[in-house]
Chain A
Amino acid sequence: MAEAGRRHRVLVVEDEDNIAIALDYLITREGYDHDRVANGAEALARIRDTHPDLVLLDVMLPEVSGYDICQNVRLDPTLADVKILMMTARGSAVERRKGLALGADGFISKPFELKELRQEVRRLLGDGA
């Protein structure tokens, strides 16, 4: 939860530019601050630096996988309040289970409906549906 008067910060970790554009647009429209990194190697450092309220984390990333980032975030107690919403192209039950087991707070499959994504983001940020 953001401090009173501060807008929620959302970090998008996504290597597909067009999807990132759509996500940036949605986040801005929802009134959140947004930021983006395009590869897994930079993502963990950016999360530590900016301490976002929510990370929209793609699973399939170059260099370091989304699962790897998720596990490392959860192993860092200083990042315990960072919410993670994982996104995957396959969306199988096993992938969902793996993501949640590694500490993700939510899981959404691509291609996703923006309405569904908006609801999930609001839920995780405590803004209601």
Chain B
Amino acid sequence: MTGPFARFGLRIRVALIFAGLAAGVLAMLGFGLWAGWHRLGMAGAADGFVQGGLIAGFAALGLIVWVWLLFDRNVARPAEALAASLRARAHAGAGGDIDTKPGRYLGDLAPAAAAAAARLAETQTALAEAVARETTRLADENQRLEALLSDVAAGVLLVSGQHLLVFYNGAAADLLGAAPGLDRSLFDYLHEGPIRHAQERLISAGEAEAVSDILCTTVAGARVLSARMRLLGDPGAVQPGYVLTFRDITADLAADAEREALLTETLDRLRRPAAALAAILGVLPEGEPLPPMMEAALRDEVRALSADVTDLARRHEARHGAGWIGTARASDLVEGIAARLMAAGLTAEADAAPLILRCNGFEVIALLGRLGHALADAGFARAFRVVLTDDGAGATLHLAWQGAPLPIGQLDRWLDEGIDRGLPGITGRAVLTAHATDLWPEATVHGQTLCLPLPVQRHAGPRPAPIARAVVYDFDLLSRMSGAGVADTRLADLTAVVFDTETTGLLPDQGDEIVQIAAIRIVNGRYAAGEVFDTLVNPARPIPARSSAVHGITDAMVAAAPPIAIAGRDFHRFAQGAVLVAHNAPFDMAFLRRHEPAIGAPFDHPVLDTVLLSAVVFGQSAEHSLDALTHRLGITIPEEARHTAIGDARATAEAFLRLIPMLDARGFSTFGQVLAEVRRHGRLLKDLN
């Protein structure tokens, strides 16, 4: 419907029609009486005409009001309720039969609507089944892909052209040092300079395959990351998104700095005695006995030099051994070597102490495998035992055989060769040097063995349960229109944080405080997996028993919880850049805003209240409690989750997601349009937006 009355609801429009009818009847009645009196031409008859007119006017007005009330109760209100029910089924997927009883005066309209709704439900069920089958198949594929990506040791980020996170894997979440969130600015986590410059370099290069290697640092923790950037899609686009892969090189840099410091110290400590020795030798009288003072000086300097060299060498060896070269489970190591030998037609048995070793497993397997092959080729043996023993301070890997001893000269020649075709340029000697160890043949009572000492990381217990390292993504963020303000953003494209609080009471002005905050992040109309905020808050005051009875949170539970200053700051960071959504938002916002000075950040986010959204969709006269709204939308809240902050936040989020298409169908697509309509409903407090 268009025209000046389009913005009014059905009931108000009907009321306006009856008001117009009443005004028209009264005007016509007045005009008729005036014309009659004028024609009669008797001045004394005016009182009679006025009296008759008032009686007829009140009677007509009463009749019209009575008919309007009947019409409103039996037609307009049921029609509006019927429309809301149909919209809930059409747009929010609500189920159940339509109640036709209130619409009995609408003739066949209510049964026809019920039949249409039933047919729609059947169609929706069939469609949902087909979609579910396809969704399951895609979800399986997705799961496999996610498993692959989550196991990548490097951090991987996909970032939109506006530097907002679109994808991150578990390693990235670990390395960034703060829980990342989709649609948040990358610069909340990494300093922006090198990233912006790399993006500009790649854009100006204009090549799809171009990459840029950069060093960047994390905002939290000041980790140094070595990163590689590659643009996504067309590099000629104005602001293309990009992939960032990175690893932590803080330890590498620290090791470099330590090595540099040791080298500097070495030179400093050697330079002085070298200079002293050169000076003494320079003035030493040739062919004469050594003067006692010079002899003493020479002895002192040589002794000092010798002590310095010994000390520096010991520190160099300790530092070298402490370098990180990876870890490997001893059983994996020996089985890997045995497998390599058996693959070449040799016999191999494996046995290992339950240890985790500090070594590059792949290189050690390649080295011992190579030596086993060399021993077989040279005729020493074709059957081996690969054993790893615990020596207390460390471990020794043995490649044992029955037969002739291996000359160490032969072993040295093999160690000078490459260990694997896949590792060009890496010799056995290089592997030993990298591991600060050595390898030698040894004769034992059981036969011959090659011994390779390796450092132990720790004793191995049962394999721990794998840590869930989910990947989180929403690729639709890449194609989202850039530059749109919140007001012009479609509701379905909003990044929203739906939250709820539990409190000590209902009166923030009289000292009631928050005891729990829970929130869920919604990006592009979907839950952002894993992006959930849920914390207890220490209210610094006792929780009344009647409040504990509602939400189940007691004084003991919040004793070790953070105060609102910290929990509020964490929540503010979680909600950064998002629209806040809550059911009866003014209540929760009042609690939060009281503590803005302590939190150190204003809650000046755009806010939406699902109470008001419900009023827009279902009319003011409907009940808008969270229970009533969720019931109307066909959302089930488990009883145990009700009146918990996270349970209510989930229910509110679900209701919000179902209200979005209903608002859209009513022509309220953008945040700005919804806000204007909500304001018209008059309950939105002016301080919210």
Contact = CB atoms under 8 A, between A and B. Distances in A.
Interface of A: 64-65, 67-68, 71-72, 75, 90-92, 94-95, 97-98, 101-102, 109, 111, 113
B438 A98 contact: yes
Interface string B399-441: 0000001011100100000000000000000000000111011
A94 B408 contact: no
B405 A75 contact: yes
A72 B407 CA distance: 8
The 10 A-B residue pairs with the shortest CB-CB distance in the complex, in nearest-first order: A111-B306, A98-B440, A68-B409, A101-B442, A94-B438, A71-B408, A68-B408, A67-B408, A98-B438, A94-B437
A98 B438 CA distance: 8
A113 B317 CA distance: 21
Contact of A71 (B317, B407, B437, B438): B407
Contacts of B309: 111
B214 interface: no
B453 interface: yes
B438 A102 contact: no
Greatest chain B CB density within 10 A among A71, A75, A91 is at A71
B317 A92 contact: yes
Contacts of B313: 90-91
Contacts of B408: 65, 67-68, 71, 102
B688 interface: no
Nearest to A112: B306
B451 A111 contact: no
B125 interface: no
Contact of B317 (A68, A75, A90, A111): A90
Contacts of B250: none
Nearest to A98: B440
Contacts of A92: 317, 436
A37 to B, nearest CB: 17
Nearest to A97: B453
Interface in B440-458: 440-442, 451, 453
B310 A102 contact: no
Contacts of A95: 438
Contacts of B441: 71, 102
A59 B317 CA distance: 18
Nearest to A95: B438
A67 B405 CA distance: 14
Interface string B306-326: 100110010001000000000
Contacts of A67: 408, 440
A109 B310 CA distance: 9
Give chain B's interface residue range (CB within 8 Å of chain A). Answer: 10 to 19
A26 to B, nearest CB: 15
A35 B409 CA distance: 25
Interface in B290-345: 305-306, 309-310, 313, 317
Contacts of B453: 94, 97
A24 B317 CA distance: 31
Nearest to A99: B440
A101 B451 contact: yes
18 contacts: A64-B409, A65-B408, A65-B409, A67-B408, A67-B440, A68-B408, A68-B412, A91-B313, A94-B437, A94-B438, A94-B453, A97-B453, A101-B440, A102-B440, A102-B441, A102-B442, A109-B310, A111-B310
Contacts of B305: 111
Interface of B: 305-306, 309-310, 313, 317, 405, 407-409, 412, 436-438, 440-442, 451, 453
B440 A68 contact: no
A75 B305 CA distance: 39
A21 B277 CA distance: 19
A84 to B, nearest CB: 14
A40 to B, nearest CB: 10
| Most chain B C-beta atoms within 10 Å of own C-beta, residue among A90, A91, A98, A113 | A98
Given A102-B441, A109-B310, 20 more contacts: A64-B409, A67-B408, A67-B440, A68-B409, A68-B412, A71-B407, A71-B441, A90-B313, A91-B313, A92-B436, A94-B436, A94-B437, A94-B438, A94-B453, A97-B453, A98-B451, A101-B451, A111-B306, A111-B309, A111-B310
A97 B451 CA distance: 10
Contacts of A109: 310
A104 B451 CA distance: 16
A101 B313 CA distance: 23
A64 B540 CA distance: 78
Contacts of B436: 92, 94
A98 B441 CA distance: 9
A50 to B, nearest CB: 22
B449 to A, nearest CB: 10
A55 B310 CA distance: 24
A92 B442 CA distance: 19
Contacts of B438: 94-95, 98
A61 to B, nearest CB: 12
A97 B396 CA distance: 11
Contacts of A64: 409
Contacts of B407: 68, 71-72
A92 B451 CA distance: 16
Nearest to A109: B310
A102 to B, nearest CB: 6
Contacts of B405: 71, 75
A22 B624 CA distance: 100
A66 B313 CA distance: 21
Contacts of A111: 305-306, 309-310
Contacts of B412: 65, 68
A98 B407 CA distance: 14
Contacts of A75: 405
Contacts of A101: 440, 442, 451
Contacts of B451: 98, 101
Nearest to B313: A90
A113 B440 CA distance: 28
Contacts of A65: 408-409, 412
Nearest to A70: B408
A94 B305 CA distance: 24
A64 B436 CA distance: 22
Contacts of A72: 407
Contacts of A71: 405, 407-408, 441
A92 B310 CA distance: 11
A27 to B, nearest CB: 20
Contacts of A68: 407-409, 412
A94 B432 CA distance: 11
A27 B167 CA distance: 73
A86 to B, nearest CB: 13
Contacts of B310: 109, 111
Nearest to B432: A94
Chain A CB count within 10 A is highest, among B408, B437, B441, for B408
